[in-house]
């Protein structure tokens, strides 16, 4: 009992924090430290990917890294311990390091036949002893049970009582005792989805832990075996079919849904099936807006900031919201209220290497044109670098998505959850247009406004879209209407 107290006092655990607002999990992208490395308070030890951002995690104390609990690429729940640190490395009462094989403390149990290596304790199932007998799985075929028993005896060094199918993989000398297979929760879920029994998988991970690669390796022979002998109750790892495992390998690729893609999927499904969407369209001559953009690029007041059509479009939307403030609202289902927002946090949909994110410019309604241009530039640069924080993506009220950069004319955008409207901007193209009674080549684009019909009526939505179009057609309205 004293040892446990001393160990607890000496080793400190660092848990996966909630780096955003209400996030429940994060994927470990990269470790910057390894066991044995010295760390100091505030030093970044790893990078994790949350719902929509990559975040670096600093450790809040000094010491020497004792153990990394999860490998890179693992999705970890908030609150799970991810690293342990020895905060008193000079003490003599320390337990063996994480990678050491023998355990120094005596065990008050039946004497074991040989010293046991340290078996990692994974969440939810503790340490298993080799002498522990497992209850047979429901539905297991007698043949599979016999093979499993033979493999158990072979790994325990007692030899095989009966002939076993050929090619028995030899476990490493320091592998953990065979009991419940050691695998982390995401790997267990993957095995379940693929129909793989973890007891038949040969582990290659540290301390005998089954990895994702092990499961995928076992899935290929299992698929081929199922095709050759579908009546076999359970695939056995020791039986290797001669038929090449080509089913699906060249025609399909399975990508785990996690991180940004998982967040996008949840948000879009939640929005599409919660808010009744209405989308309206308008095609507008933006020739004068393009001339204004060219003039602003030469203006010394705009020096050092990026000027493009999106800047003027953003300002036009902000003016339209000022003229129609009811559109800047949110639906509170729990309290059955419409929440009017007296500020505009303008979201800008940004395509990044990790997927679509929607950071927003806080209090965009209060910014001058140069300030808005600077905020847009910073927002886009941060997003493309993958450094957008969860806070930067929270609290948006209205969003702009510029599909025109891909050469697309328009679309029917889905609302960002918690917002009432989203404006899609199409490609600006030179087209024939009736101008002052004559057909002339003009620069034209199509705008699409989707809005939540629970709180935005057709009249209100139409007014907002018409105001944005009118400003882009006559940019001087930015002055007269503002």
Per-residue DSSP letter, 200: G
Separation between Cα atoms, residue 393 and residue 138, nearest integer Å: 48
Separation between Cα atoms, residue 20 and residue 159, nearest integer Å: 54
Cβ atoms < 10 Å from Cβ of 26: 30
Of the candidates 66, 158, 365, 453, the residue annotated as catalytic is 453
Q: Tell me which long-range contacts 155-163 makes (C-beta under 8 A, separation of at least 24).
A: 156/130
Exposed / middle / buried, residue 335 (Cβ in 10 Å: 0-12, 13-18, 19+): exposed
**What pairs with residue 136 in β-bridges?**
none
Q: Active site includes 453?
A: yes
441: its two tokens:
């080549």
163: its two tokens:
């002939």
Per-residue DSSP letter, 19: -
Nearest to 247, CA basis, from 287, 216, 220: 220
Nearest to 21, CA basis, from 51, 42, 45: 51
Per-residue DSSP letter, 300: G
CA distances from 343 to 226, 297, 380, 467 (A): 60, 28, 21, 19
- Active-site residues: which are they? 453
């Amino acid at each position: 009992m004293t040892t446990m107290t001393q160990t607890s006092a000496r080793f400190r655990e660092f848990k996966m924090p909630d780096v955003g607002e209400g996030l429940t999990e994060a994927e470990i992208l990269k470790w910057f430290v390894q066991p044995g490395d010295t760390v100091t308070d505030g030093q970044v030890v790893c990078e994790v990917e949350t719902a929509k951002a990559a975040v670096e995690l600093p450790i809040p104390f000094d010491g020497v890294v004792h153990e990394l609990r999860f490998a890179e690429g693992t999705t970890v729940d908030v609150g799970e311990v991810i690293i342990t640190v020895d905060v008193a490395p000079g003490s003599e009462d320390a337990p063996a390091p994480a990678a050491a094989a023998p355990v120094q403390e005596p065990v008050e149990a039946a004497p074991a036949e040989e010293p046991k290596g340290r078996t990692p304790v994974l969440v939810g199932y503790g340490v298993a002893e080799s002498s522990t007998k497992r209850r047979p799985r429901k539905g297991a075929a007698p043949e599979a049970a016999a093979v499993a028993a033979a493999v158990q005896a072979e790994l325990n060094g007692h030899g095989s009582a009966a002939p076993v199918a050929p090619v028995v993989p030899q476990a490493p000398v320091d592998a953990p005792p065979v009991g419940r297979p050691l695998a982390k929760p995401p790997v267990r879920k993957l095995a379940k989805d693929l129909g793989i029994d973890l007891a038949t998988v040969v582990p290659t991970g540290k301390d005998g832990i089954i990895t994702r690669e092990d499961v995928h390796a076992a899935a290929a022979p299992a698929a081929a075996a199922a095709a050759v002998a579908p009546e076999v109750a359970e695939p056995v790892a020791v039986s290797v079919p001669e038929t090449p495992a080509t089913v699906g390998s060249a025609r399909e690729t399975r990508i785990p849904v996690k991180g940004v893609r998982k967040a996008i999927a949840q948000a879009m499904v939640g929005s599409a099936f919660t808010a009744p969407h209405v989308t309206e369209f308008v095609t507008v001559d933006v020739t004068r807006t393009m001339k204004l953009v060219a003039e602003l690029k030469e203006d010394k007041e705009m020096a050092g900031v990026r000027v493009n059509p999106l800047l003027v479009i953003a300002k036009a939307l902000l003016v339209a919201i000022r003229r129609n403030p009811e559109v800047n609202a949110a639906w509170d289902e729990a309290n059955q209220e419409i929440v009017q927002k007296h500020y505009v946090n303008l979201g800008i949909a940004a395509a990044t290497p990790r997927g679509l994110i929607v950071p927003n410019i806080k209090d965009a309604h209060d910014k001058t044109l140069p300030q808005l241009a600077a905020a847009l530039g910073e927002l886009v640069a941060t997003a493309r670098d993958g450094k957008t924080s969860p806070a930067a993506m929270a609290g948006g009220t209205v969003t702009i998505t510029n599909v025109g950069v891909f050469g697309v004319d328009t679309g029917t955008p889905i609302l960002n959850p918690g917002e009432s409207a989203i404006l899609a901007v199409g490609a600006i193209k030179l087209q024939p247009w009736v101008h002052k009674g004559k057909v002339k080549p003009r620069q034209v684009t199509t705008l699409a406004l989707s809005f939540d019909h629970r709180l935005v009526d057709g009249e209100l939505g139409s007014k907002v879209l018409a105001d944005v179009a009118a400003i882009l057609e006559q940019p001087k309205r930015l002055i007269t209407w503002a």
